[in-house]
Amino acid sequence: MQTQTAPSGSDPIKDLYDRALKKFKAGHAREADMICRRAMPVYRKDPNIMCLLGEISLQLRRPQEAQTWYGKVLKNFNDFPRALEGMGLALLADSRPKEAVDFLHKAVDAAPKRSMTHTALSRALAEAGHAAESERALRKALTLDPRKAALAEAEQAQLKGRLEQAEKILRDSLARDPDNPQALRMLANLALDANRFKAAHRMLQRAVELNPAFALAWNDLANLYMKQDRYEKALETVQRAIDVDAKMAHSYVMRGNILTKAQRHEEALLAYQQALDVNPANPGALSGMGHVLKTIGRQDESIEAYRQCIAAHPSFGEAYWSLANLKTFKFDEEEVKVMAAMVEEKTLHDEPKINFYLSLGKHYENEKDYKRAFEQIRLGNELRRGHEIYDPVQTQVIHDRIIKVFQPQFLASHDGWGDPDPSPILVVGLPRSGSTLIEQILASHSMVEGTMELPDLSRSIGELNKSSKGKAEYPETVLNLDQEQIRALGQGYLESTRRYRTDKPHFIDKMPNNFASIGFLHLILPNAKVINARRHPLDSCLGCYKQLFFKGQSWTYDLFEIGQYYLQYQRIMDHWHEVLPGKVLDVHYEQLVLDQETQTRRMLEYLGLPWEDQCLRFYETERAVNTASSEQVRQPIYTDALNFWRHYESQLGELIEILEPLLRQADNQK
């Protein structure tokens, strides 16, 4: 927003204002707020300080408070452009576009050459239903300052989920001004979100070449390297951001995120602490610290970090879900009140609101109020589903193609072609089906390394698609591979997973979605072992429906789609059992918790490992656990989760109907 100044006295006011504004622009809104509020008893009539407080309130999602500050300015300076525009934006954030239009028209009259004011007016007119006038205001903004107006419009489109519109605006802007670092960064982030890494890298590299002091672009480039698991390169790049601006907390948060993903947990904690030294209330640092502490088993400290985050940022829904996702945690009354208020907050974006809905669902489940729990879960999932792209038909088609390729004749003709290394143990299945418990039991054995959910097998398939240069895609690409290429794929997987391992003879890859790639795994690593974590279909599906996943698993937010996905999972697992008999060991969660020793002996026998008593005391094993079940596997086995679906039976009619053939089969096997 503009920083026009009204006549307002002495240098001390200006010094104080400049200090607060610098904090605000650096992303430290709460510190800027404190500086301004402390000054109010002395400088309570200064319009610039009150306007800055309005802008801070807007950033903190407090539009009504912002209206109060701007109202005080306009009472004494009724044509002050900054206050007029601010009041318009505050009303717009408060879902009052018609009133916003009146103030923004006045702001345009007061500052006719300011493009951002015309852009704000265009938004308000659009939301008030005046499309033609909105278009005229936007054209005027573009005439006055094409660069800034286009970026502001693209940012708004992106916030509203209109990604194609945002991309078009940015591409048009770059066609006119190809050396705009900010536009390059914004377009690169759209590409990064869509996993178009090459395009994102090219644009971010260009942005930092144009502006070597562009710390945010350096951070985004580090984030790209992190997503590619190029951790050393990511750390080197984020250091460039820190060198540019050592007071930017976000850079230390990014460093912490990279170290977390690289499993360097103690170093990650230090990085998050550095961020907190710069900004004690930084939500990314507090939540990141909470995640790491949870992963390494320091639960009490983890809860404290999340609660500090909540205290500083009541609308930061991710921190509430992180607490709910501990599974063993219970919210207090005040936290429940805040969550209930937040889901009713009209100005709150969908992402935090989804977190609040699912967290409330977990709370009511703990209270055994299953009807209210399901309603909150349903509302959150409906909201999340609107942001996901999933086509059940596509899942069926790809499974059809996999089944067609991996037939007995093909597998027999390629038998033994892959790398013979027997070290990999894959634990597959649907999420929330007991795979973390299986992993923890096996990782308690002296000869087995527990790692995490590794992306390496799917990445091997992705590289296979790239090397085919568009001639074919997986799974058909494997039909044209020779023995040398197949062995190289197995060796590539072993090499890429080495960074997660020590010198133990075996390691676990617990990526559940690998169940569809068992034929490919057998092709490139014929001696790898596979354990399929099974659970009662309704418990498995309900567990997925109640879980809010960070990314992926886009099929888990609708009961019909979950049911269809489960049928596809069962179908392809039946195929693997048929064409690769003995390759996969099914382990049923119910049998494991009721008779752990028998099932553990069965798993170790399948893996060719000697018996070790420590596997029965898996909860004593100290290791990092990244999944939602991290706290549950740090305690002895319990049976509370068996047949948990019965608490929700009246709400699961559609799912029960879809799975009815499998449920009959499960009942007959008892």
Q: Is the pLDDT of residue 575 over 80?
A: yes
Which of 98, 123, 144 is at the close of a domain? Answer: 144
What's the structural domain count of the chain? 2
Amino acid 486: pLDDT: 96
Between CA 441 and CA 430 the distance in angstroms is 18
Q: Comparing 559 with 2, which gets the higher pLDDT?
A: 559
Domain that holds residue 90: 1-144
3-state secondary structure of 428: strand
Distances (CA, A) of 442 to 432, 526, 546, 606, 612: 18, 21, 27, 12, 10
Per the CB < 8 A criterion, the answer to whether 353 and 383 are in contact is yes
Pairwise CA distance, residues 241 & 405, whole Å:
48
Q: Which residue has the higher pLDDT, 182 or 11?
A: 182
Pairing relation of β-strands 506-509 and 448-452?
parallel
**Tokens for 348?**
């709150």
> Across all residues in the chain, what is the average pLDDT?
89
Last residue of one domain, picked from the residues 107, 123, 144: 144
Structural domain ending residue among the three candidates 120, 144, 168: 144
Cα(252)–Cα(437) distance, integer angstroms: 33
d(CA 268, CA 274): 10
Q: What is the pLDDT of residue 431?
A: 92
> Is residue 188 a part of any domain in this protein?
no
For the entire predicted model, the pTM comes to: 0.74
Residue 284 scores a pLDDT above 50? yes
Q: Is residue 459 part of a domain?
A: yes
Which of 24-38, 443-457, 499-513, 526-540 is predicted least confidently?
24-38
Is residue 185 included in any domain, yes or no? no
Q: Is the pLDDT confidence value at 8 over 50?
A: no
Could you tell me if residue 527 is inside a domain?
yes
Q: Are the C-beta atoms of 286 and 308 separated by less than 8 Å?
A: yes
Q: Residue 124: which CATH number?
A: 1.25.40.10
**Identity at 2, one-letter amino acid code:** Q
pLDDT above 70: percentage of residues in the chain: 93
CATH code of the domain in which 501 resides: 3.40.50.300
- Does any domain span residue 490? yes
What is the structure's pLDDT at 625? 56
Are the beta carbons of 426 and 521 closer than 8 angstroms? Answer: yes
Q: Give a yes or no: residue 550 inside a domain.
A: yes
Could you tell me the pLDDT band of residue 566, with boundaries at 50, 70 and 90?
Answer: very high
Instruction: State residue 9's pLDDT score.
Output: 43
Predicted pLDDT at 670: 55
In this structure, is residue 462 part of a structural domain? yes
With respect to residue 11, please indicate whether it lies within any of the assigned structural domains: yes
pLDDT above 90 (res 401): yes
- Indicate if the pLDDT at residue 2 is higher than 50: no
